Amino acid sequence: MTNSTENINQFYQQLDSTLRTISPSDKIMLMGDFNARVGQDYITWPKVLEKYGCGKLNSNGEFLLTLCTEHQLAITNTFFNHKPAHKNSWMHSRSKHWHLIDYIIILQRDLVDILDTRAMRGANCSTDHIMIRSITKFKVRRKMMKGRKSNYKLNISRIKNRQVQEKLEKTLTERLDTIPPGDAENKWQAFKEVVCNASEEHLGIATKKQEDWFDENSAELVQLLDARNQARTNMLNRNTRSNKAKFKTHSKLLQNRC
């Protein structure tokens, strides 16, 4: 919290870059003392937080929540219902208030691997932080076999083109005539291979196109981003209750509109 905004930004940029180097097929378990309070607003941060969070959001917490949203991560501490004593991990030396600032974070798709996350008050770790423990049961997905996918889809819209029809018919006629005699099973496999290969050759594989929703709404979203960023700058320069409330309002508006 005593670091400059530039240093905090640099840390999260480095963490973001590191996360992007991890293979999408791998599991991620991000653990540590982030000195961040993420609060309880699971409606504004769906799938990142659940309803069992605690405390109030601070500026470091917003950095962490933004990172988790971008990488589809979930803060497992907030997904399990425990007493406050079994959630919080650190006590402020002056106010004597307990806070949750130590987290175990995983990919949202892997939440099924985590059976529980809680603070273990009885563990003596020679630190003023309480140890956080997760009980896990990892499920490892099997690697897909290389080669043609069994459920691929052909671009059947091309069959409407008369030239494509004629080429496909010609290729099928030529290749089907070359199927050697044999039992029913072998002839069926050869027939299937000819039809699939010829169809893929002339029709191609259908590709799924996703609409770029951000470009279509960029003008509106850029305005909301600018307003949120300005409110955050005002809050960092002058940390008043009014500036905090304005920043929270702009953040919720941007999150909901996105």
The closest of 108, 111, 101, 82 to 31, measured between CA atoms, is: 101
How much is the pLDDT for 145?
Answer: 55
CA distances from 159 to 93, 151, 167, 175, 207 (A): 73, 19, 10, 19, 16
Placement of tokens 């059976």 in the chain: 115
How much is the pLDDT for 133?
Answer: 96
Q: What residue spans of the chain are helical by DSSP H? A: 5-20, 59-70, 162-176, 184-203, 213-216, 218-237, 241-257
Q: Do 121 and 86 meet the contact criterion of CB atoms below 8 Å apart? A: yes
pLDDT digits (tens, 9 = 90+) for 187-225: 898 899 899 888 888 888 877 666 666 666 778 888 888
**Of the listed ranges 38-47, 101-110, 187-196, the one predicted with least confidence:** 187-196
Instruction: Pick 108 or 157 by higher pLDDT.
Output: 108
**Residue 142 CB partners (closer than 8 Å, separation 6+):** none
What are the structural domains of the chain?
5-142 (3.60.10.10), 156-203 (no CATH)
- Mean pLDDT for the chain overall: 88
Please tell me the distance from the alpha carbon of residue 170 to that of residue 194, in angstroms, as a whole number.
Answer: 12
How much is the pLDDT for 214?
Answer: 64
Strands (E), 34-155: 73-75, 90-91, 98-99, 102-107, 114-120, 131-136
Please tell me the distance from the alpha carbon of residue 248 to that of residue 232, in angstroms, as a whole number.
Answer: 9
Pair of tokens at residue 258: 């996105």
Which run of H or E residues covers position 208? none
Pair of tokens at residue 166: 């004629």
pLDDT digits (tens, 9 = 90+) for 159-196: 888 888 999 999 999 888 888 888 888 889 889 989 98
How much is the pLDDT for 148?
Answer: 53
Placement of tokens 């799924």 in the chain: 208
Please tell me the distance from the alpha carbon of residue 192 to that of residue 186, in angstroms, as a whole number.
Answer: 10
Of the pLDDT bands very low, low, confident and very high (cuts 50, 70, 90), residue 46 is very high
Which run of H or E residues covers position 96? none
How much is the pLDDT for 25?
Answer: 85
**Of the listed ranges 13-27, 164-178, 202-216, 241-255, the one predicted with least confidence:** 202-216
Q: Do 246 and 230 meet the contact criterion of CB atoms below 8 Å apart? A: no
